[in-house]
Amino acid sequence: MIPILGICCGLLAIFGGVFLRPWFRLQERKMELQAQMTAEKAAQYAAHTEQLEQRVRVLERIATDKGADLSDQIERLRDGTFVN
């Protein structure tokens, strides 16, 4: 019985080294790629959020500005030539 158990342990170790180790490496690589993709998406969302915040700031300034050039600023926004 002991020799059979020894052979089984050896086969199990070989199986783990040949099949399980590469599988674990593959899973680790998949997780790394997923983390990179998530970080890239987060950066894109942050950039988009910053752009939206800038636009809201401009609109708030226009809405609260009682100056005479309000219509000019609105027209420049429509034309896409507005600069902060």
pTM of the model: 0.51
Find where tokens 């005479």 sit: 68
Structure tokens at 38: 């998530």
What is the average pLDDT score of the chain? 84
pLDDT in tens, 7-18: 888 878 887 777
The b-or-e profile of 38-73 (16+ CB within 10 A means b, else e) is eeeeeeeeeeeeeeeeeeeeeeeebeeeeeeeeeeb
Q: What is the pLDDT of residues 34-60, one digit of tens each?
A: 999 999 999 999 999 999 999 999 888
State the helix-helix crossing angle for 21-64 and 70-79, rounded to 10 degrees: 150
